[in-house]
Amino acid sequence: MVADELKEVVVPREEATFWLDRWGYWCNAHGRFQHKKIIDYFHAAIARDEKGYFVAQVNGDCREKVYFRYEDTALFVFDVLLNDRPTLVLNTRKHIPLDPDALFIHNDYLYMRQDDHLIKFNERSMLKISALFEHDGDTCFIRIGGERKVIRDRDAAASSEGGERH
């Protein structure tokens, strides 16, 4: 059966029984998911459309699509491959190049914007990428190759402009 011929069952965000917390852990009413295979499966199944982020799977002749809540963002950097051109490994297993110009700090966490996606570095990836950081007073920089780029502090920029940026 072709994907276009599948019957689609959609569960809206409000009815989803699971969510992604602000650290990138899948949770339900009983707490954080514990089984690595299930966790990995959920992360790999994340997709996005005009209604938001969802996880999807094909079950027989049906495509199940569950929109889920998330506390901060649905995309996380789970690993950083440090080489000539650092690569970010997302929770979805996707590999993307690090864009130093798209990095910013918010509430002491590192984020990167890619297109209209907000990507948050988890603790493990923060530790790994910190090998590229330099500090000069209150300013944080990232050094890649011979280039040194400022990492913007979204909170400081917002307060100096008199408002919060989105």
Instruction: Go through the domains of the chain in sequence order and give each one's CATH number.
Output: 3-70 (3.10.540), 75-161 (no CATH)
Contact between 29 and 17 under an 8 Å Cβ cutoff? The reply is yes
128 SS3 class? helix
Contact between 120 and 71 under an 8 Å Cβ cutoff? The reply is no
The reported pLDDT for the residue numbered 165 is 33
Picking from 112, 116, 113, 2, the residue whose alpha carbon sits closest to that of residue 48 is 116
* pTM, entire model: 0.86
Mean pLDDT by 10 residues, the chain (166 residues): 78 97 97 97 97 95 96 97 94 97 94 96 96 91 93 66 37
The reported pLDDT for the residue numbered 137 is 86
The reported pLDDT for the residue numbered 163 is 38
The reported pLDDT for the residue numbered 160 is 40
Distance in angstroms (rounded) separating the CA atoms of residues 38 and 109: 27
